[in-house]
Amino acid sequence: MLDLAKILDLKHNIILASASPRRKKLLKQIGLEFKVIAANIDEDDIKENDPAKFVVELANRKALQVAKSNIESIIIGSDTTVYLDGKLLNKPNTEKDAYEMLTNLSGKTHQVYTGVSLVQYQSEKSKEFYVRTDVTFRELGEREKYAYIATGSPMDKAGSYGIQDDFGSVFVEKIVGCYYNIVGFPLARFYKEIRDFNDKL
């Protein structure tokens, strides 16, 4: 089995500061061994509307909170949002929110932003970056939207849809950029960044 820690000669244990099952699955996919310690931060007090700054700020807050009590590990913080027509579309609070998001995304191109923060508290080193992917939806029918919302799947996802493993996959007509970024974690960019980050520790 692939062992990313050996390939990269990682100097520290890895902790994912996120409870996202999708990020956990993606990191395991590339052979990374890590612990999960979900950060507990208030995401509603960030007033930033720039999508890149928003996801990087949240990712950094998550990583720093966990890093302060795990000073020897490399902490990975991450956050994903959907951006359409100047507005951030985060996780819906209600089924009505999910319906409105899907209706607004229908037939349009939106952007998915994921921010990632790497923190190693003991060395006082950190690195933040974000990745953007353009996603085009086909026109969605009313029955499709209601059926999808009824599954509950949209309720824990930015933009109220998931491109992986569920009905949300048939909404997407075209993507430009990293597919895994839409799922919730940009694997290729992360690999490069953690390799360089580890080398500097």
Domains in the chain: how many in total? 1
| In the block, residue with structure tokens 């700020």 | 57
What is the C-alpha to C-alpha distance for residues 11 and 193, in angstroms, rounded to an integer? 15
**In this predicted structure, what is the pLDDT of residue 74?**
98
Structural domain for 167, as ranges: 4-199
Q: Which helix (H) or strand (E) holds 105?
A: helix 95-105
Catalytic residue numbers, as ranges: 79
Structure token pair of residue 93: 């609070």
- Please say if the pLDDT value at position 48 is more than 90: no
Report the CATH number at residue 14: 3.90.950.10
> Rounded mean pLDDT of 98-117?
98
Q: Is 181 in contact with 112 (CB distance < 8 Å)? A: yes
> Rounded mean pLDDT of 127-135?
98
- Please say if the pLDDT value at position 43 is more than 80: no
**In this predicted structure, what is the pLDDT of residue 134?**
98
Q: Is 22 in contact with 183 (CB distance < 8 Å)? A: yes
| b/e code 21-36 from CB counts within 10 Å (16+ = b) | ebbbebbeeeebebeb
Q: Is 111 in contact with 133 (CB distance < 8 Å)? A: yes
- Please say if the pLDDT value at position 42 is more than 90: no
∠ CA 119-120-125, nearest 5°, is 80
3-state secondary structure of 86: coil
**In this predicted structure, what is the pLDDT of residue 101?**
98
| In the block, residue with structure tokens 């009505």 | 96
> Rounded mean pLDDT of 139-152?
96
Beta-carbon contacts of residue 38 (< 8 Å; ≥ 6 apart): 17, 18, 19
Q: Is 116 in contact with 103 (CB distance < 8 Å)? A: no
**In this predicted structure, what is the pLDDT of residue 1?**
79
> Rounded mean pLDDT of 113-119?
98
- Please say if the pLDDT value at position 161 is more than 90: yes
The share of the chain scoring above pLDDT 70, in percent, equals: 100
What is the average pLDDT value for the chain, to the nearest integer? 96
Structure token pair of residue 181: 């970024």
- Please say if the pLDDT value at position 152 is more than 90: yes
> Rounded mean pLDDT of 178-194?
98
> Rounded mean pLDDT of 29-47?
91
pLDDT digits over 50-96, tens only?
999 999 999 999 999 999 999 999 999 999 999 999 999 999 999 99
